[in-house]
Structure 1
């Protein structure tokens, strides 16, 4: 097992259990406690875990990891998810695209489409989409979020309210066991909520690390989306909710 594989599995275990001791991790992977501490320290440096006495737990639900760090986290999974999302969007569609590293990958996956109209507060995505001269890209006004390089605030919400799109592609910070969609910045959440409300269909793009992840701001409910695109089957508690709500679950294998 490579170091990267082990660290990914450490993350998965901590997300499942909330806290795992150094000794338990060392025994699980048949490595020394020193190796586990080194792995945990590296994951903590990326804000993916938090060190506690004797082990590791989930990071704070108050603040997300830095955007640059998130751009490379689960990158392969995000690319696969983005490809599946793009397959659901026909040429000539209108789209809201929210802030986030997964939606940034969706922007890349859409570049082979034709005649899209995209409304976004995600400046990373807007720059990518501008590479296709056949697209019309509308960028919302508002207050610049220096952390996310996105636009937020009342002016952004008001701008969004002028449109009714075919799709909203939304990313989230976390999805709890009850199906609540969570994120870290209330200002971003308000814009995402407005986009979902003014779209005919919502596509939720979330990799497996978002299941069970904690965050402070409530975005909405899983049932508000028509599609959930992810890379692994959701936890059992969410599977029932997805089936009852007739959400189309698409796995990016």
Structure 2
């Protein structure tokens, strides 16, 4: 923490969520330029995230770096991945976008054989390629340094020609309007994935429910199944039910044992 006012900024963002810079300046009673300097320093230190003229804590405005997200809610993501892997048979075809839960799913699929996998994730491609007779097709495009995802027009054009049994995407946020994300190119890719699948699946841990992303991926009318680890809020559950979406709750072994006890 660089100065006392930075502590006040964190307190306001914690209480009110992400705010435009002008609103934050008003709340602090300082000039917009002062807030801009404070936010710049705090963003460089990793304390806040700036997105589209607003500022907030990392969990409010976007997703944390990929490696850190792989450690967050890992037990829940692993349980979801394990349950999904049980629904995929040897020889099946699937398309996976870049996400922590889909990366966990790739690891759960290591005992499967002769899979045909289409993905834009270098992590998923490395995990499943050259093992058990799998065929892996990796989309080309600009490679993100954080997530190892290939994105952009060439990646979209590449996957457009595939038709798979299971189209599986992760989610940055899920509210009553459907699935959302924080990155335009990732949202575009996930939307295209859903269009390529016979069975359209969203895998997401329950921390994403009630969050609202900046970019719409798809409404629930474009989703067949949502696999998660805990029930969504009532308004989200109602929207899923109205669209005919199947909700699958995937408990971790530890959680299941606690419930049984």
The answer to whether the superposition gives a TM-score over 0.5 is yes
Between the aligned partners of 1:231 and 1:179, the Cα distance in structure 2 is: 20
- Does residue 194 of structure 2 align to residue 192 of structure 1? no
Aligned partner of residue 71 in structure 1, secondary structure: helix
Aligned partner of residue 71 in structure 2, secondary structure: coil
- Does residue 88 of structure 2 align to residue 89 of structure 1? yes
- Residue 182 of structure 1: CA displacement? 1.0
Which residue number corresponds to residue 205 of structure 1? 203
Q: Please list the CA deviations of residues 206-247 of structure 1 after superposition, one character each: whole Å capped at 9, or x if unmatched.
A: 001000113212111123111110000111112222222221
Between the aligned partners of 2:163 and 2:217, the Cα distance in structure 1 is: 19
Aligned partner of residue 248 in structure 2, secondary structure: strand
- Residue 131 of structure 1: CA displacement? 5.6
Which residue number corresponds to residue 74 of structure 1? 73
Between the aligned partners of 2:198 and 2:16, the Cα distance in structure 1 is: 36
Aligned partner of residue 110 in structure 2, secondary structure: coil
Aligned partner of residue 115 in structure 1, secondary structure: coil
Aligned partner of residue 111 in structure 2, secondary structure: coil
Aligned partner of residue 128 in structure 1, secondary structure: helix
Which residue number corresponds to residue 99 of structure 2? 100
Give the TM-score normalised by structure 1.
0.75
Aligned partner of residue 111 in structure 1, secondary structure: helix
Aligned partner of residue 158 in structure 1, secondary structure: helix
Q: Which range moved further: 242-251 or 64-73? A: 242-251
Between the aligned partners of 1:73 and 1:48, the Cα distance in structure 2 is: 18
Whether the 8 Å contact between 2:113 and 2:132 is mirrored in structure 1 is no
Q: Which range moved further: 215-224 or 100-109? A: 215-224
Q: Please list the CA deviations of residues 93-131 of structure 1 after superposition, one character each: whole Å capped at 9, or x if unmatched.
A: 111100111100010111111211000001111111126
Q: Please list the CA deviations of residues 54-79 of structure 1 after superposition, one character each: whole Å capped at 9, or x if unmatched.
A: xxx86465542111110100000000
CA RMSD of aligned residues (A): 2.6
Whether the 8 Å contact between 1:48 and 1:65 is mirrored in structure 2 is no
Gaps of at least 5 residues in structure 2 are: 1-12, 18-42, 50-55, 252-261
Between the aligned partners of 2:162 and 2:127, the Cα distance in structure 1 is: 22
Structure (1 or 2) with the greater helix fraction? 2
Give the TM-score normalised by structure 2.
0.73
Q: How many residues align?
A: 208
Between the aligned partners of 2:235 and 2:131, the Cα distance in structure 1 is: 41
Between the aligned partners of 1:237 and 1:63, the Cα distance in structure 2 is: 22
Gaps of at least 5 residues in structure 1 are: 1-13, 20-43, 51-56
Alignment map for 1:1-253 (pairs within 5 Å): 59=58, 62-130=61-129, 132-176=131-175, 178-253=176-251
Which residue number corresponds to residue 7 of structure 1? none
Work out which of the two has the higher radius of gyration on C-alpha atoms and give 1 or 2. Answer: 2
